[in-house]
Structure 1
Amino acid sequence: MYFCTVLMNLHIKYFLVNAPKSYQHSSGSLLFYFTVRMPNNKSGLSKERLLFKRIIPTGLYAYKVFGVLDNCLPAVLADVYMDLDYRKQWDDYVEELYEKECNGKTVVYWQVKYPYPMYYRDYVYVRQRRDLDMDGRKILVVLAQSTSVPQIPERSGVVRVNQYKQSLAIESDGKKGSRVFMYYFDNPGGQIPSWLINWVAKNGVPNFLKDMAKACQNYPRRS
């Protein structure tokens, strides 16, 4: 039920069909968008992608990214995203990352490096992947959402992020690449400086996709 609800709320099919050309504004909400341009180099990135930054009532931001990763097949991209051991090799912001069985479900613990003098943040979340057929189009979807389990308590000197959601929808671009839609939100807690918020919007999220594209090229189980 949760999986279906998230799909409906994100309107994944709408974004995959219409973005970025037709999605210019969102009626009744505070939504801003700008274009992030990157060179088409060996990393396999397309020349541009759109990043949407939506202000929610708490004053925090939710991010929506639409773009194309050239030379990165959807199945490989989804495998790279799900492979936690491999992520520790290519994501420089990972301090600690592992899976643990808790109360009959698989839970992920993820600790993220933050710039000094800020505390590191950590996440406890569940995730799931589905391969969908939507009117003949194969779309791979990965969802993640924060949870709480007594087996992974909060740590001293690390801020626990209790509100976290991330959704990724992937389909073929009709060539050798992938069209990608990503939604991301978390509440990092504490007083986050404005420069860090702006960095995440303009560099952090796009750079994450850039690093993931490079990881796809070097993935040992690439198909």
Structure 2
Amino acid sequence: MFTDDEFAVLMKELDQPQIDGWEFFTESHGISIYRLYNEESGLYEYKIYGTLSDVLPDCSADVYMDLEYRKVWDSYAKELYEKEENGKKVIYWNVNYPWPMSNRDYVYKREMRELEHNGNKVWIVMAESTECLSIPEKSGVIRVDDYKQSCVLTTDGKQGSKAFMRYYDNPKGMIPTWLINWGAKTGVPSFLTMMQEACRGYPKYLESRNKS
């Protein structure tokens, strides 16, 4: 689905952030964010570096991949599921936007690999927009067809996770670019905080799911 070279490029970020040409954007709660301007869209692509201090990387990876659990802890996920078409799995994701903006939805492919780097296990997830004829666009919902996200997780050497994310999407529609860029500044750290809390609650969630 994705190439070995693409995963290798992401792995490099663990040793040395690849930020030549990137602009430092903000730092919050131990998370550093850099951005790169996209002239075609007027938007930015982001690189995020940080740690989840009390969550192990295998748990972080499981939470990141668990779509059913995502619907529990992420209030923005209105609809989220995986389906198979022509032997390939794709994910549909409908995201709640605040009134009066229209919701956005995504159809994307995703792959996770567990690799080894400097004697430590590394979890890398790559996701990218794709087409799926059996998931047509919905009335009143704007389809995002330019979306990429990558996540790299490994141990921080203690009881936490060292994390790197790369993210870009173009939500289209009549949203001012300044508002989108402001949302990235506040939304990325808050998402990681939400995910950290979700990781803490994951064992209890699995226990209740296995009982039902």
Q: Same fold (TM over 0.5)?
A: yes
Give the SS at the match of 2:194.
helix
Deviates more, 1:49-58 or 1:67-76: 49-58
Give the SS at the match of 2:3.
helix
TM-score (norm 1): 0.85
Aligned AA for 1:99? Answer: E
Could you tell me which residue of structure 1 aligns to residue 148 of structure 2?
165
Give the SS at the match of 1:198.
helix
In the TM superposition, what is the alpha-carbon distance from 1:37 to its structure 2 partner?
2.2
Aligned AA for 1:36? Answer: E
- In the alignment, the residues of structure 1 paired with residue 182 and residue 123 of structure 2 have an alpha-carbon distance, to the nearest angstrom, of 28
Where does structure 1 lack aligned partners over 5 or more consecutive residues? 39-47
- In the alignment, the residues of structure 1 paired with residue 3 and residue 192 of structure 2 have an alpha-carbon distance, to the nearest angstrom, of 23
- In the alignment, the residues of structure 2 paired with residue 3 and residue 72 of structure 1 have an alpha-carbon distance, to the nearest angstrom, of 29
Could you tell me which residue of structure 2 aligns to residue 32 of structure 1?
23
Matched, 1:108 2:87: no
What's the CA shift string for 1:119-153, capped at 9, x where partnerless? 10000011111001124232110111111111100
**Structure 2 counterpart of 1:65, from 43, 48, 67:** 48
TM-score (norm 2): 0.90
Kept in 2, the 8 Å contact 1:70–1:178? The answer is yes
Aligned AA for 2:181? Answer: N
Could you tell me which residue of structure 1 aligns to residue 197 of structure 2?
214
In the TM superposition, what is the alpha-carbon distance from 1:32 to its structure 2 partner?
1.5
Task: Decide which structure has greater helix share.
Answer: 2
**Structure 1 counterpart of 2:112, from 123, 129, 138:** 129
The share of aligned pairs that are identical, in percent, is: 49
- In the alignment, the residues of structure 1 paired with residue 127 and residue 11 of structure 2 have an alpha-carbon distance, to the nearest angstrom, of 19
In the TM superposition, what is the alpha-carbon distance from 1:195 to its structure 2 partner?
4.5
- In the alignment, the residues of structure 2 paired with residue 100 and residue 14 of structure 1 have an alpha-carbon distance, to the nearest angstrom, of 32
Alignment RMSD (CA, Å): 1.7
Question: How many corresponding residue pairs?
Answer: 204
What's the CA shift string for 1:177-219, capped at 9, x where partnerless? 0000000111111222245223322211111111000000000
Cα 1:121–1:216 shift into 2, 3 Å: same
Where does structure 2 lack aligned partners over 5 or more consecutive residues? 208-212
